[in-house]
Each structure stands twice: as structure tokens, then as C-alpha cells.
Structure 1
Amino acid sequence: MIARRSLLAAGAILPFAAQAQVQAQDIGSGQRPLRIGVTAGPHAQVMEKVREIAARPEGPGQGLAIRIVEFQDYIQPNAALAAGDLDANSYQHQPFLDQQVADRRLPLVAAGKTLIFPIGVYSRRHRSVADLPAGGRIAIPNDPTNGGRALVLLARSGAFTLRGGNDFRATVADIAENPRRFRIVELEAAQLPRVLDEVEAASINTNFAIPAGLNPVRDSIALESADSPYANLIAVRQQDREAAWVRRLVAAYQTQEVKDFVQATFQGAVVPAF
């Protein structure tokens, strides 16, 4: 009886296993498009181009079908990917992904580099960080990695000094000398363009600055260099890292055609990292 129950159980499992295998093979087909999460703005614009390239049967994507899903924040795309509602996402740099994996125990890994979005400082009233008045409020992103990037950029621009290493792990508590008594306001990254009229300056991620009509090259009063180490990436679940569709997706993204599109569209404000 034990042997019979085991055999029946195995027979019951096989159809589901076969179904799962068929579904895995279908990922990227017209019946089951690849679901990729992006933040609205430049990431979405570039992914539209990638979708066009990937769909070509003779191209690097080998006819890969893509459905783009837009998000308005930095948290939900990773949560959706970990939950299986997405197959991949494209919007974050490695330090942010590492922090999310550590804090939220997400089974996500990087699959390939995409773009560098230098973070900038913007002001409606002042032309340089040196012009910012004493006691003024400066808004920065409230997530740990981009908040640290903003603080480092402000420190290098002369707003204040930071104790310890000047990298993305810096926090407001690391401000050592602040002779002009700037007040740092931490807000969700997507909200920063909306408060620009209410503060003396704000450090805004480029993917949110551009949709708000801000050109990082023309409008920022301080800007990370183009060789910033914060290259964005395509993230997938650990279980999918060796999947054929992942290689096809990365190949479709990392093309000269995408490089040319980025340069023509963003005029140096966004830099390919491949």
C-alpha cells in the first residue's frame, strides 16, 4: 500500500511538473510576454526601445516579447519581482539592490548593467551650492543608498563635511561640520521634484528629474560625474539567473542601437554603463 500511494503521488505530480516546464519555455512568447518592471520616465523610455529590438526574430533578443509595467516608487518593483508578479525589473543600481536584499531578504540578483543616472542638486532660486542661504532646507531621497549619494555630492560641493568615508552609506548623522546650518529634509525620491519650490535645493535622481522637466546637464547646480559607480542594472530572481530569456533580454539591452538612442534622447544626462 505504501508503494502504491507513492506511485500515485508521483503520477499526480508529473502533469504539474510538465505544465511548469511548458510555462517556463513559453516565457517571452506572445502568449506569455516577459513582464519587466520599470520606473516611469527614462527607464520606461529606454525599455520601449529594448522591447522593439528584442521583438526582432533575427536580433539579439531572438523574438522576445516584452510587457512593460511602470511603477512610481523604488520599493514596489522589487517586491513585485520577488513575489513573481514580474520576471525582471530595470531601475536600480547595485548598492540599492544589495540593501533591499539584505533588509527585506529578497531572492534577487543582478543580470546585467544598463545605465548610469548621475544624481543632481537643483534649485529654483540659486545658481550654485555656494549661494544657498544659511539655515536653508535641502531635500534629499530618504532611501539609504540614494540619500547617501546626495549627502556625498553636497559635501563635495562645499555644503558641509562628512565624517568617515564619503560613500552611499553616509547618513545625516554623519554630517560633521555644517557652518551654514543647513536643514536636511528626507523625502521619498519620487516626491522631490514636487517640493522644489518649497526648499532652497533638492537632490533629485535623474530618472525623476527628467520627467519633471529638469535637464541634469543644464539645470543642476551640482551633478555627479559621468563615471559614477552607481550603474543601474536588470534584476531577476535567483532561480532565473541562468535562464535563456535572461541572456536574450540582456543582449537586446546592451546594443549599440540602445546606446545611440540614449545619447540622442538624453543628450548626456543618462550614460550607458555597458
Structure 2
Amino acid sequence: MKKKLLAVALIGALAVSSLSGCGKKAANAKGKDKKEETKTIKIAATPIPHAEILNEAKKILKDKGYELKVTEFEDYVQPNEVVESGEYDANYFQHVPYLDSFNDEKGTHLVDAGDIHYEPFGIYPGKKKSLDDVEKGDRIAIPNDTTNEARALLLLEANGLIKLKEGAGLTATVNDIEENPKEIKFDELESAQVARVVGEDEFVVLNGNYALEAGYVVSKDALAYEASDSEAAKTYVNIIAVKEGNENNEGIKELVKVLKSDEIKKFINDKYEGAVIPFE
């Protein structure tokens, strides 16, 4: 009996505890009472601007005792799946309407842990360079996921190209177009693919990050875009998303604090020239 009790005590003494997501205590080989923790935050992100911003934040977090490991994804599905599974602690690529839609469709349990920045949605030239040149049968490429398609259609409506059914709002699809006087044809594509048909369609409507990847600056290249003080800025702010229950994790809170710091705001403003706007 004494041997069993001794074995249990030894196992308990050697166990290393860990919090969900953000790090493990380093082993204390020399038997000191305490040793500084090594804390790791694994985050999934789309490349531009999210991974770029995170890599800038990585420098600040290192000074605060955190190692930020950033993995880039090219789509909008896997970053949520790896956070839901617990493989990653957080992701940075989406806004709340998309997150809510994803949760509803996939049965996931992701929540907003911090509002970081806003990317104006824009209409960009393709084969034509002015919205004044729209003719019957012209083609416009738009994202095909629920929230971003609605956002694109609302922007087109705001610029007089179509009229949506009353109340269509943030769930609008092409089926909700009530008036289309120019008989515009819509190419509904996965968000990452829209910029690739610039040479094929008359116009494209792009998410801010994919516009950046395509080399566009919204303030210079967009034919029309959402105002920075609009309701869209509040609705479509890009967030740090985590699995429900992890939003108050110490590492996640520190990550959000750094991303909202003056240093990161300056980096965003200097680098993106209005294509990315820090959310206040």
C-alpha cells in the first residue's frame, strides 16, 4: 500500500499542467521554486493583411513572454476548423457575420475575442475602368459566401447598379435582386478567386485582403468603396476568433491588447494606406 501511495505522489509531482491554447510551464531541472513560463500561441490567418500584422505583433509579444506561431491559410474554412478542433488557439481573418454564418452552417462554437481592424469593400476595374461605362450584359465577379456576397450586392446597390428586395440586408443573394436595369451578369466565385477574373469580367468586387493581395490600394484603385465611418465598419470589423470558453485566456487577451496597441495601429496606417483601418 505504501508503495502504491508513493508511486501516485511521484506521478503527481511530475505532471505538467497546461491551459487550453496558450503554453506550458517549462520543466525546472535545477529544482528551483519557480521558472519563467514558455508560452506559445498558435494562430491561423490569411496572408494579407492578417499574417503580416501578426508577424509585426510577434515582436512585441516576444518581449511579453509569448511566442506567436502564425500559420497562413488561403481559404476561409480551414482556419475555423483548426480552431474548433483545438489544433490552433485562435484565428484572424474574418468578421462577425461570417463567423455567425459559419457557426450556424457547421455547428461550430467560435466567438469574437477582440475587434481589430476594418477593410473597406470595393468595386475594382476589370475590362472596364469606370462605372459610367456599364452596359447591358456586363459581367461582375462577386464573392459567393453568404455574408460577403450580401456585402458586395449592397455596395453595388449603393452605387445604383441594382436594387435589392426590401429587407434583404446581410443575407442578400443574387436571387434577391429586384431591379437590374443593365441586365448585369454575376460570376459568383470563392472569395480568393474573384481577383483572378479581372481580365475576363468588366468589374470585380473584392474583400479588402484579397484586394491587397492583388496589388490594389482601395483609396487609389477602387471605383467605389464603403466609407470608413459607415455601419459596415462596425458590422464587418475583422476579429480574433477563438473557441467558446477561451476568450478570457491570458494569452489571447494579451494578443488582442497588442493588436490594438498604438504600435500596431501605426504599422497598419503606414503600411496599408487606408486599405486597412484600425478599429477603435
The reply to whether TM is greater than 0.5 is yes
1:25, distance to aligned residue in structure 2 (A): 6.7
1:221, distance to aligned residue in structure 2 (A): 1.1
Return 217-226 or 142-151, whichever deviates more.
217-226
Q: Secondary structure at the match of 2:199?
A: helix
1:130, distance to aligned residue in structure 2 (A): 2.9
| Distance (Å, rounded) in 2 between the aligned partners of 1:22 and 1:143 | 34
Q: Is the 8 A contact 1:128 1:222 kept in 2?
A: no
Distance 1:65 1:84, change over 3 A: same
| Distance (Å, rounded) in 1 between the aligned partners of 2:21 and 2:114 | 21
Q: Which amino acid in the other structure matches residue 262 of structure 2?
A: Q
1:127, distance to aligned residue in structure 2 (A): 3.1
| 2:112 corresponding residue in structure 1 | 110
Q: Deviations over 1:83-117 (max 9, x none)?
A: 11211001100101111111111111110001101
| Distance (Å, rounded) in 2 between the aligned partners of 1:149 and 1:28 | 45
Q: Deviations over 1:132-155 (max 9, x none)?
A: 221011110011001100000001
Distance 1:72 1:25, change over 3 A: closer
Q: Which amino acid in the other structure matches residue 89 of structure 2?
A: D
Match of 1:221 among 223, 226, 229: 223
Return 126-135 or 110-119, whichever deviates more.
126-135
Q: Is the 8 A contact 1:122 1:219 kept in 2?
A: yes
Distance 1:108 1:82, change over 3 A: same
Is the aligned partner of 1:21 residue 2:18? yes
Instruction: Please identify runs of 4+ aligned residues in structure 1 that moved more than 4 A.
Output: 22-25, 27-32
Distance 1:115 1:179, change over 3 A: same
| Distance (Å, rounded) in 1 between the aligned partners of 2:110 and 2:279 | 20
Q: Is the 8 A contact 1:28 1:65 kept in 2?
A: no
1:247, distance to aligned residue in structure 2 (A): 1.1
Q: Secondary structure at the match of 1:91?
A: strand
Q: Is the 8 A contact 2:142 2:186 kept in 1?
A: yes
Note the aligned Cα RMSD (angstroms). Answer: 2.6
Q: Is the 8 A contact 2:111 2:241 kept in 1?
A: yes
Is the aligned partner of 1:239 residue 2:245? yes
Identity of aligned residues (%): 36
**Structure 1: gaps of 5 or more residues:** 1-6, 57-61
Is the aligned partner of 1:76 residue 2:78? yes
- The aligned length equals 261
| 2:203 corresponding residue in structure 1 | 201
Distance 1:25 1:198, change over 3 A: closer
| 1:34 corresponding residue in structure 2 | 41
TM-score (norm 1): 0.88
| Distance (Å, rounded) in 2 between the aligned partners of 1:28 and 1:131 | 63
| 2:146 corresponding residue in structure 1 | 144
Q: Deviations over 1:32-82 (max 9, x none)?
A: 6211111011111111111111111xxxxx221101000001111001111
1:206, distance to aligned residue in structure 2 (A): 1.2
| Aligned ranges 1:164-203 → 2 under 5 Å | 164-165=166-167, 167-203=169-205
Match of 2:274 among 252, 255, 268: 268
TM-score (norm 2): 0.86
